[in-house]
Structure 1
Amino acid sequence: MIKLEGALYPWRFRLVLLLLALMVGAIAWRIVDLQVIDRDFLQAHGDARSVRHIPIPAHRGLITDRNGEPLAVSTPVTTLWANGKELYKAREQLGTLAKALGQDAKVLAARLEQNREREFMYLVRGLTPEKGQQVLDLKVPGVYAIEEFRRFYPAGEVAAHVIGFTDIDDRGREGMELAFDEWLAGVPGKRQVLKDRRGSLIKDVQVAQNAKPGKALALSVDLRLQYLAHRELRNALIEFGAKAGSLVMVDVKSGEVLAMVNQPTYNPNNRRNLQPAAMRNRALIDVFEPGSTMKPFSMSAALQSGRWKPSDTVDVYPGSLRIGRYTIRDVSRANGPLSLTDILIKSSNVGMSKIAFDIGGEAIYAVMQQVGLGQDTGLGFPGERVGNLPNHRNWHQAETATLSYGYGLSVTAVQLAHAYSVLGNSGRMVPLSLTRVDRLDEGVQVIPEDVAQTLQGMLQQVIEAPGGVFRAQVPGYHVAGKSGTARKVSVGSKGYRENAYRSLFAGFAPAANPRIAIAVVIDEPSKSGYYGGLVSAPVFGKVMAGALRLMNIAPDNLPPPVESQVTAVNADKGGRI
């Protein structure tokens, strides 16, 4: 009779049952441990495969002019991207996708071939939300969208050099956008969402971190004055066939830059055919010899020395002065004695040089330095240059003479406008600002008040006296200023270029109580003349006239009212008084 092995060895059967029971118990314990005791483990791994944090874009701060007019705003746009692996599997739809994107199908196919193993590739950036949604509605596998912001500049080319622009990633790259990038830039937020293994959104869980928009920035620029200056400068360049030009307008009392324009300019909203030369903010970056616009500061040094007064005269006959190998000449060909005011009116290099020989080059250098020439303006504008104001250990006659009438040094248009604002502010210098100033700075007295006010009267005569720069006059206002014509230095060799000039004019108004200072620089006028009094002075006059009117500044040169004789009319004749 055959007996079962289990019956012969009952302990083996029991052992197998025990092992099976232990295995079931271990599995049951692990299930309880994972689902009840240590449930965070599975949840964390599940979330890692399904929970995602997608960025919430933050828009840059608004840039406005001093009156709140928008100069740079952020608008929402849609950026489309693709998962190369997913899109490659649906490549038969590339033709439809390329047509919707406005791209060449072959070019898109070649890009996809290069990125077929990648999970991210840009398709197009900066679409309008409506256009982006039209592409998404095609439901092409592997095509997704990102919400972004794009900068838009309502003033276009008018304020381009001041505002600058941002790159495709919304980071400042030029102008105030770059200078205040940290201030304007927002902080992106995070949104927690659930996605399936294909990347499709299942559920919007919560906002993990709110987006923080950038802070607003109010500039000192007045958009109305900016348009006015832009128009007149552009018209002057066309009329005189000039290569380039700049105009800077400064509030004499506050130091705020009310307008800053350059030509040529560009449209920051469309930079496809942008020329690098058009991007340059010439008012802050280009340096030049300012010519006769420096004579008022040399005259200030003479008046401060106590050795000269406005009624003193200088003999400029025969209109030229020989210094070693150099000959100084007067364009006006004035002969005989000239008063200090006449030297400014006639723009006599000979007269100015003789005064400079008497007071010394160091005194002239000191005044020019005090009004900010050759110094940092403190604006913090990217790429700004400080120019050059030479200081010699021993001032020879040639160096003294050339400095006195504006050669041998280099300045920017902003520095020139700032220096004239000091004269207009009775010798008190206040810091320049490209942002709106809410509390006035008292400034520093760098030129004695009586000297500055004397110069104001002398510069008023430069405009209003017979033979003065009448093209700079403004109806209803007394204006003070000085023209200049400077030859351009030859690049790569010594000396100056033939028939290449800069036409300049700088001044302020109203002369009775100056409020606005303007500097105009026009580069290489090629037709109808090149003198500053002919080319730049009319621009100054037109812009100043418009600015005084827009800022509602009271006239100081109105004709006296005509006395009218009131006649009583007989009541029987129906007359009335």
Structure 2
Amino acid sequence: MARRSRPEQRSRRPSRTSTNRTRSRVVSLAPVPPKRLWIVFLILCTGLAGLVGRMAWLQLVQAPVLEEQARQLQTQRTRPLGQRRPIVDRTGRLVAIDEKRFRLWAHPRYFNLPGDPPNLVRPPSDVVELLAPHLAIPASELLIALRTRSSGIKLGEELDPETAKRIQALGISGLDLEAYPQRIYPQASLFANVVGFLNAERVPQAGLEQSRDSDLVRHEQTRSLRRGADGTPLPDNLAPGVFYGDDLRLQLTLDSRLQELAVKALAAQVAQWKAKKGAAIVMDVTNGELLVLASTPTYNPNQYWSFPTGLFREWSVQDLYEPGSTFKPINLALALQEKAIQPDDRVHDIGQLMVGGWPINNHDKKANGLIDFAKVLQVSSNVGMVQAMRQLDDQLYWTWMHRLGIDRRPDTDLPGAVAGQLKTKEQFMTQPIEPATTAFGQGFSLTPLKLVQLHGMLANDGRLVSPHITRGFRSGAALAPAAPPSGQQLLRPEVTRTVLQWMESVVDQGSGKGVQTPGYRIGGKTGTAQKALNGIYLPGAKICSFVATLPIEDPRYVVFVAVDEPQGAHAYGSTVAVPVAKQIIDALLVVERIAPSKPVDLNKPTKS
């Protein structure tokens, strides 16, 4: 047993060789040379200085540039579309409005469908299958268009918001929807002569769109909204009023219901008499508001390119004509104002007379004998008017014509209104034929609008108002109230009331019988004037017109109708213009709820 244990004990003792090997792996410490420490120190200092320098460069030199780049990434900018304010009539019915439309641009080199790898470019045929149903364009046509070039292909114009939303929901990369406003005129041609239109570049070309351009541009600002890293909007750096919503609307004085009726009645009469054009005006004499300003032929501002440019103007505001017999009540009022004649005076109508070597005769060349001024208007006696106005001094006569503004532009908001033409004071006083022809409404010219203004003066107790078609801007759905009574006093009220009574006799007994309405007192005067061009009267060319005032006991409205160059032997103011005025008056009585002037005798037959 003892012999076996000795070897085991020997094996447990570490060998001398292994111990020596372990001790040989120990490295003895040695001092580091100072030069090496300095090198390490300098390297660390250089790195630290570089970091400090870089930080200083970023913070002090590049800070503005980096801040601007960051703000561009963080800021969402929304540019204004250049929208315009709506236009409505006196009842709030839309006349002009901006609607959002979209253009669709395609970039085939970026075509990619939802779920595709980011670098995959789809062929145009894959996109066409999804896009064609929404554009209502055959897939074959779209495919041809998409193969023309690799980017910037316009596939659609005037897309409505619903269609644009459906296209956007497809999620196709490479399709770009460009939003823009488009001016729409819901009433089509009804107010084209007044409102005008915008061309394809949204530049106003006529009417209120042009004259009130700066007022109709909507208040819009470029919005710059900053967002945080998670997309949360940050309220700082917002310009004042950036979220202000401009909901102003320009309100007109015109009434769509009356305007539509007037346009239809005019168009039918112009067609029946094969005339060149026609116009109708209805004015509130107390404040100058126009309820109707209609003309025909006209155009559709939604498709202005399909019509001749000559239709883009309102001739009742911009064209001059000789008013003829419709000016006779104005002349009689001037003579009464200056007491050159008296209400109960009479004149001797011999049918024809010579003035300065020129013959003047009545339209029917008949003599009417000794007649009063009511009869002068009833039979529209030219000779009787010359006899009456001879009592007024020529210089005073011309002064009154100038004071009435015949030769000045009317004070109105109507675009394009022009001044009339009046002979010089010297011509008027030295040539006897001038005051004679002026007495029955010829030898000078004015616009239909100016004639309506002057008849409004007769109806407004001698106060001259400014005709206008706008009430101003209102917010939201609110409507502006009617303007208060106004006007410059030019004639005595008793003078105008006398003339209105004479005009009432024209409707009761004269050429204005066609507008008689049971229960209502209406005054009026017809006119059939020769048409002049460059100072020379055109053979057979004439303008037939009629002007009415109602109700006579408390005048409120003037109704004017004119038809240019009607054809036919029986074309007169009473046959051409009066029927249109009758339709307008009947509608006006209903729309404005005008009470009858007197009880209606239902058993009495109506005069025709």
What TM-score bracket applies, with the shorter chain setting the length? 0.7 to 0.9
Give 1:151-300 correspondences, 5 Å limit: 151-168=183-200, 170=202, 172-192=204-224, 208=238, 209-210=242-243, 212-213=245-246, 215-300=248-333
Residue 287 of structure 2 contacts residue 487 of structure 2 at CA under 8 Å; is this kept in 1?
Answer: no
1:487 aligns with 2:530: yes
2:66 to 34, 42, 45: 42
TM superposition shift of 1:152:
2.3
**Cα drift, residue 112 of structure 1:** 6.2
> Would the aligned equivalents of 1:90 and 1:140 in 2 still touch at CA under 8 Å?
no
Q: Single out whichever of 366-375 and 178-187 deviates more from structure 2.
A: 366-375
- 1:407 is paired with a residue whose SS is coil
Asked if 2 retains the 8 angstrom alpha-carbon contact of 1:72 and 1:153, the reply is yes
For residues 561 and 214 of structure 1, do their structure 2 counterparts lie closer, same or farther at Cα, with a shift above 3 Å needed? closer
Deviations 1:78-112 (A, max 9, x none): 2445789979x989749949974969779968996
2:344 is the alignment partner of 1:320: no
Aligned to 2:571: 530
Q: Secondary structure at the match of 2:366?
A: coil
Q: Distance in 1 between matches of 2:484 and 2:195?
A: 24
Following the alignment from structure 1 to structure 2, what is the Cα–Cα distance between the partners of residues 26 and 314? 116
How far off its partner does 1:141 sit? Answer: 5.6
Q: Residue 321 of structure 1 aligns to a residue in which SS?
A: strand
Query: SS of the counterpart of 2:222?
Result: strand
Q: Is the 8 A contact 1:373 1:416 kept in 2?
A: no
Q: 1:451-466 residue pairs with structure 2 within 5 A?
A: 451-465=495-509
Q: Which amino acid in the other structure matches residue 28 of structure 1?
A: L
1:472 paired residue number: 515
What whole-Å deviation, never above 9, does each CA across 1:41-76 have from its counterpart, x for those lacking one? 423234446755231446432322222222222322
Question: Is this contact kept in 2: 1:54–1:191, CA < 8 A?
Answer: yes
SS at match of 1:186: coil
Q: What TM-score comes out, normalization by structure 2 length?
A: 0.78
Greater mean alpha carbon deviation, residues 269-278 or residues 258-267: 269-278
Note closer, same or farther for the CA distance 1:322–1:193 as it changes in structure 2 (3 Å cut).
same
What percentage of residue pairs aligned between the two structures are identical?
Answer: 26
CA distance in structure 2 between the aligned counterparts of 1:50 and 1:34, rounded to whole angstroms: 23
Aligned residue for 1:337, secondary structure, equals: strand
Partner of 2:492: 448
Q: 1:522 to 1:384 in 2, by over 3 A?
A: same
Flag the 1:360–1:283 CA change in 2: closer, same or farther, 3 A.
same
In 1, are the aligned partners of 2:414 and 2:468 still within 8 Å (CA)?
Answer: no
Spell out the pairing of 1:418-433 with structure 2 (5 A cutoff).
418-433=453-468
Q: Distance in 2 between matches of 1:545 and 1:362?
A: 42
Counterpart of 1:556, as a letter, is S
Deviation of 1:517 after TM superposition, in Å, equals 0.2
Map 1:85-104 → 2, pairs under 5 A: 93=124, 96=128, 100=135
- Structure 2 residue 581 is the aligned partner of structure 1 residue 540: yes
Distance 1:135 1:364, change over 3 A: farther
Deviations 1:164-210 (A, max 9, x none): 22344555442222333222211323344799xxxxxx969568533
TM-score (norm. length: structure 1): 0.82
Q: Which moved more, 1:242-251 or 1:166-175?
A: 166-175
> Does structure 2 conserve the Cα–Cα contact (< 8 Å) formed by 1:98 and 1:108?
no
- C-alpha change, 1:111 and 1:178, in structure 2 (3 Å) is farther
* Alpha-carbon shift at residue 480 of structure 1 (Å): 0.8
- Aligned partners of 1:378 and 1:112: how far apart in 2? 57
Q: Alpha carbon RMSD of aligned pairs, Å? A: 3.7
Match of 1:28 among 12, 36, 51: 51
The residue type paired with residue 425 of structure 2 is H
Distance 1:392 1:90, change over 3 A: farther
Which deviations, in whole Å up to 9, do the C-alpha atoms of 1:424-450 show, x marking residues without a partner? Answer: 112122222212364414322211111
State the Cα distance separating 1:457 from its structure 2 match: 0.6
1:337 aligned residue (370, 374, 380): 370
Residue identity opposite 1:147 in structure 2: A
Aligned twin of 1:573 = none
2:394 to 361, 367, 371: 361
SS at the partner of 2:597? coil
Question: Which amino acid counterpart does residue 553 of structure 1 have in structure 2?
Answer: I
1:63 aligns with 2:104: no
Cα deviations by residue, 1:253-302 (Å, 9 ceiling, x for unpaired): 12111111010112222334122122211221121111111111111222
Relative to structure 1, the CA distance from residue 418 to residue 85 in structure 2 (aligned partners, 3 Å threshold; closer, same or farther) is farther
Q: Which runs of 5+ in 2 are unaligned?
A: 1-32, 112-119, 472-480, 604-608
CA contact (8 A) 1:284 1:385 kept: yes
Aligned length: 538
Distance 1:111 1:420 in 2: 66
- Cα distance between partner residues in 1 of 2:329 and 2:200: 48
Q: Distance in 2 between matches of 1:284 and 1:180?
A: 17
Partner Cα distance (1:92, 1:362) in 2: 87
Does the 8 Å CA contact 1:57/1:211 hold for their aligned counterparts?
A: no
Please state how far the C-alpha of 1:149 moved relative to its aligned partner. 2.6
Question: Is the 8 Å Cα contact of residues 503 and 531 (structure 1) preserved in structure 2?
Answer: yes
Letter in 1 for 2:517: V
Asked whether the 8 Å contact 2:75–2:224 carries over to 1, the reply is yes
SS in 2 for 1:255: coil
Q: What is the DSSP-based 3-state SS (H/G/I as helix, E as strand, rest coil) of the residue aligned with 1:419?
A: helix
Report if aligned partners of 1:62, 1:73 keep a CA contact under 8 Å in 2: yes
- Of 365-374 and 515-524, more deviation after overlay is shown by 365-374
| Structure 1 residue aligned with 2:559 | 518
